[in-house]
Each structure stands twice: as structure tokens, then as C-alpha cells.
Chains A and B, each alone.
Chain A
Amino acid sequence: MHELSICSAIAQTAMDHAGGRAVRRVRLRVGHFRQVVPDTLTYCWDLQTRGGPLDGCTLDVEHVPAVVVCRSCGESTGLSHPILVCGACQSREVELVSGEEFLIESIDVAEEVS
């Protein structure tokens, strides 16, 4: 349950980039292997933003699938479980190329200073 402190960090970064304008929406990219529950995150976001400068700001959480590239057969395959194995040839010689993202991608701000 570290979603509250994560929301605090998201809010600070969003406001740093808003230049004083009202932030209407924050878009996140969260990899499959990050230990964040999107519903919990949006719940905590509503709790933390209520009554403050980000009141009413929507949090969009985009889930990024986990993908490995195999060094043996060259295939890219998705992973549902955190076991690093090629889905095509079962080799363990794989590189995780997505699934660990934890990014604030963009924000929507009001066009004028509120």
C-alpha cells in the first residue's frame, strides 16, 4: 500500500509541469510488473486531490504489457507471469523490453491560468 505516497509524487510532478494552470487530467504508463493496483491508485488519487488544487483532476492509468525479446530465437513475446522465459522457444535467454514502466506521460492543463 504505497499508492498514497505515489499519488503525492504524481501530484507534485503534475503541478510542476502545469505552470500554474489547472490540471484536468494526468496520464500514467504503468508496466505489468509494477506493484500498483490501478483501482487503488485512482481511489487514492481522489482522496488526495479532494479539496486541493487538483480537485477534479482525472487520473488515467495506461497498462503496459510485459514483453521479452529472446536472444536465442529473436521472437518478441508477452508475459503474463513474472517468469522470464521466451513464449516461443522457452529459452531463459530473454531481455525484458517493456513491463517495468512507471511514468507520468502527459498532463492536460486548462488553456488559461485559472
Chain B
Amino acid sequence: MGRFHRHADGTDHSHDDHSHDHDPLHDHSHHHDHDHPHDHDHRDVGDHSGYATGVERVEVLEAILGENDRVAAANRAELAGHGVRTVNLMSSPGAGKTSLLRRTIPALAGRLRVGILEGDIATSIDADALTDLGAAVSLVNTADGFGGECHLDAVMVRSGLTRLPLADLDLLVIENVGNLVCPAEFDVGQDARAMVYAITEGEEKPLKYPVMFRTADVVVVNKIDLLPHLDFDLDAFRANLAAVNPTATVIELSARTGDGLDPWLDWLAAVAAG
């Protein structure tokens, strides 16, 4: 909070020291040389009703997340410079991202050199669960200097990249914060987006969280071993997913048993091969 109160030029425009009901002829010096086009209105706006000055409209036309996108492009370029391909792995909390990675890392040993950038709001629980598997792991806690954000953004990923041996990696998996909304909005510099969906979440989730499901290049349908025990309609889920994202690759597997893992490993290898 308050971080944007710094001006790039170091100036401080705090308005705490004047009241908003002042006389328009107060001690501001009002130089009105009106030689610029006046296609704007002169309504006073906001709470500054005491200002006698008009307003000028300035066209901006910039992406709201433009700065994030610029840092994401820098991340992508740096990773590419080291020959690293990157997957942004997203899901709701508890869908099985970390369990899938615990299966994935040993299974790719000897095939790909894998690094993990682990994003969580707090704790090193997931990072700890991955460190004994032979992958380089960098932890980013968003509660530690990043406002406890519900997603990773490009700047957070940039900070995590500095703690990874990029020259020694083929594939980086960024395990995003568990959340089906916000991570979909932020480019972090990935080459591909994967999401883990667990069949315990219900068939309707693609329709409820369409942006997340639409951004995914691959949807891993996890906990498929539970299918006999649930009232889950797999065909209805597939239809809902196809409605919002007809081109997604769908891989059904169980991170718990390891069944169905091979297509996922092949997909990762294809990403790593560029």
C-alpha cells in the first residue's frame, strides 16, 4: 500500500495540507494562457471542487498491466537466453500441483533438467516437499515483500529467477499461487500455461472460471483414480471445457498413483524442446 505514492521524479504531491473548501482565489498562481485546443469540458471533478482550473484530457491508451507485461517479456528473454523453457502451472488450492510435481521431477530425471519456482502466499511447505527430489527450487512467498498477493506477477518471478541456476536448466516450472482467478490475468514470462484441475472440484468449473480455463494450453485432469467414488460426469466436464477452450490438450491422470503420467511428461518434453 502506498507504493505508488512515489513519483518517478521524486516529488511529493501530498494533499494533506490543504482543505478542499478553499476560495478559488487562494494563493495558487493560476496562469491560464489558453492557446491549446479546448475540446474538453470544464466540469470540476473529484473532491477538488474548490479548484477554479479546468481539466485537460490526456490520451493514454496503455494496457493496465503494461509494466507487468514488460517485466514478463524481460523474464522470457532472460530464460530464453539460457535455453530454458518455462511452464506456468496454475490451479485452485488443493487440486494437486505439488503432488503432480513430486511425481514429475523424478520421472524426468535424466531426460530434462528441471527447476521449480514455487509461489505461495506464505510458508515453505510446498517448496520443502520438492527439495529432496533433485530439482533446483526457488521459493517466492508473496506475503514476504509482495503484499500477500493471490498470484505471482512478473516482478515476483523475476526475484525468484535470481536464485535459480538457469544455465543448468532445460525446463522451469513456475508453481503459481493456488487460485482460479488472479493468476490467469498475469503474464510471468512463461512459454506455456498448464493448469491442474481435480475432478473433486465439479464439472461446472470451466464455466465458472472461464478465463483460467481459456488461458491454459494443457488441462491436467487430476485425481482420476477417484472417479469410481464420485458422482462426477467426466463427459459433462469435457463438454464444459471444450465450450470455453476448444483447443486445450486434456490429460487425465492421478498424481497419487502415477497412472496416466506419461502424456504429461511428453507434453513437458515438447515444451522444453521448443
Among A21, A56, A104, the residue within 8 A (CB) of B61 is: A104
Chain B residues near A108 (CB-CB < 8 A): 40, 45, 55-58
How far, in angstroms, from A100 to B190 measured CA to CA in the complex? 20
- Interface size, chain B (Cβ < 8 Å): 59
Nearest opposing residue in chain A for B214, CB measure: A82
- Whole-angstrom distance from the CB of A7 to the nearest CB of chain B? 8
The CA-CA distance from A55 to B68 in the complex, in Å, is 24
- Out of B7, B13, B182, name the residue touching A35 (CB < 8 Å): B182
Give the docked Cα–Cα distance between A20 and B13 (Å). 9
Could you name 5 residue pairs across A and B whose Cβ atoms are closer than 8 Å?
Answer: A34-B211, A53-B14, A84-B246, A106-B60, A112-B31
Q: Is chain A's binding surface mostly helix, strand, loop or mixed?
A: mixed
| CA gap between A107 and B57 in the complex, in Å | 6
Contact of A13 among B32, B67, B214 (CB under 8 A): B67
Q: Mark B234-257, 1 if CB is under 8 A from A, else 0.
A: 000000000110100000000000
- Binary CB contact string for chain B from 178 to 194 against chain A (1 if under 8 A, 0 otherwise): 00011011100000000
User: Does the CB pair B45–A11 fall under 8 Å?
Assistant: no
Complex interface bits, B111-142 against A, C-beta within 8 A gives 1, otherwise 0: 00000000000000000000000000000000
In the complex the two chains form, is A24's CB within 8 Å of B55's CB?
Answer: yes
How many chain A residues touch B (CB < 8 A): the figure is 52
Cβ–Cβ < 8 Å partners of B244 in chain A = 82-84
Q: Which residues of B contact A55 (CB under 8 A)?
A: 15, 47
Task: Give the interface of A toward B (CB within 8 A).
Answer: 1-2, 4-6, 8-18, 20-22, 24-25, 28, 33-35, 47-48, 51-53, 55-58, 81-85, 92, 102-112, 114
- Bound CA–CA A92/B224 (angstroms): 29
Chain A residue numbers with a CB within 8 Å of B54 are: 110-111
Contacts of B15 in A (CB 8 A): 51-53, 55-56
> Does B63 touch A at the CB level, under 8 Å?
yes
Is there an interface contact between A9 and B67, defined as CB atoms closer than 8 Å?
yes
Among residues of B, the one whose C-beta sits closest to the C-beta of A53 is B13
